[in-house]
């Protein structure tokens, strides 16, 4: 049993949108990015959240196992789970002993030996590919696009099953040209199994108010289901 602790923001027992099937979703605390569309600003502070032992977290996940079925499992999200990669290296082998499918939901902001070991242990990577231009990437996330490209190249190199995900924000990254560039990545990287377009939502506004933080995209409208379908049809 791992003797390492985790800092988590929240735990979702029956998630259905963060990977295949029904999943336990662990929202780990801490994130180095400051994305303008972030829905979870409470996860930014690496010293925030709640401390939980690896043993307790394992127990919480195992209690959900009966609901996973053939396709479900656990997804480590955030925040940015790569910030707690060392602890995950201790926990995931115990999940694999229980034949639990493990997905990693990440921005791809770091790629070092520890992260590479973590990638190797996971069954699936959900990679948040936020924008398709260098300028937009840095302007709206504080991260360089080259970092996520390097991360994706590594996933392709090792043949790791990957889903690309992008939040569609009207007037920012909702052009046919931008989405076409995103979908063409599938031709270049054989590891990409799926590309998901996620509609921008503003349910997080109250969180920003409580934290006394300005929500940078408060002036943007939410994306509709019709917006997403229109973009998908335009590039297919």
Measuring CA to CA, how many Å separate 167 from each of 30, 111, 230? 20, 23, 15
List pLDDT tens digits, range 88-139.
999 999 999 999 999 999 999 999 999 999 999 999 999 999 999 999 999 9
At 152, the pLDDT band (50, 70, 90 cuts) reads very high
Q: In the predicted model, is pLDDT for residue 16 greater than 70?
A: yes
d(C-alpha 37, C-alpha 217), whole Å: 6
Q: What is the pLDDT of residue 3?
A: 63
In this structure, are residues 102 and 74 in contact, taking their beta carbons and an 8 Å threshold? yes
List pLDDT tens digits, range 156-207.
999 999 999 999 999 999 999 999 999 999 999 999 999 999 999 999 999 9
> Strand 101-106 vs strand 124-128: parallel, antiparallel, or unpaired?
parallel
Average pLDDT, the chain: 96
Q: In the predicted model, is pLDDT for residue 54 greater than 50?
A: yes
List of residues 6+ apart from 153 with CB closer than 8 A: 189
Measuring CA to CA, how many Å separate 43 from each of 16, 48, 49, 77, 191? 21, 7, 7, 10, 29
Residue 79: cis peptide before it, omega within 30 degrees of 0: yes
Q: What is the pLDDT of residue 2?
A: 47
């Amino acid at each position: 049993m791992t003797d390492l602790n985790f800092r988590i923001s929240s735990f979702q027992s029956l998630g259905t949108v963060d990977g295949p099937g029904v999943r336990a979703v662990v929202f780990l605390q801490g994130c180095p990015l400051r994305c303008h569309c972030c829905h979870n600003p409470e996860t930014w502070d690496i010293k925030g959240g709640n401390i939980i032992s690896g043993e307790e977290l394992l127990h919480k996940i195992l209690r959900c196992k009966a609901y996973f079925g053939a396709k479900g499992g656990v997804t480590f999200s955030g925040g940015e789970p790569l910030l707690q990669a060392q602890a995950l290296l201790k926990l995931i082998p115990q999940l694999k002993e229980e034949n639990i499918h493990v997905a990693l939901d990440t921005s791809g902001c770091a790629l070092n030996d520890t992260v590479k070991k973590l990638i190797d242990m996971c069954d699936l990577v959900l990679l948040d590919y936020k924008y398709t231009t260098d300028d937009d990437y840095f302007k709206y996330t504080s991260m360089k696009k080259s970092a996520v490209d390097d991360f994706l190249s590594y996933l392709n190199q090792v043949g790791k099953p990957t889903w690309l995900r992008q939040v569609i924000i009207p007037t920012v990254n909702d052009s046919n040209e931008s989405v076409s560039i995103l979908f063409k990545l599938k031709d270049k990287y054989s590891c990409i199994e799926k590309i998901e377009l996620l509609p921008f939502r503003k349910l997080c506004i109250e969180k920003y108010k409580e934290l006394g933080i300005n929500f940078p995209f408060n002036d943007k409208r939410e994306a509709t289901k019709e917006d997403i379908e229109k973009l998908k049809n335009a590039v297919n």
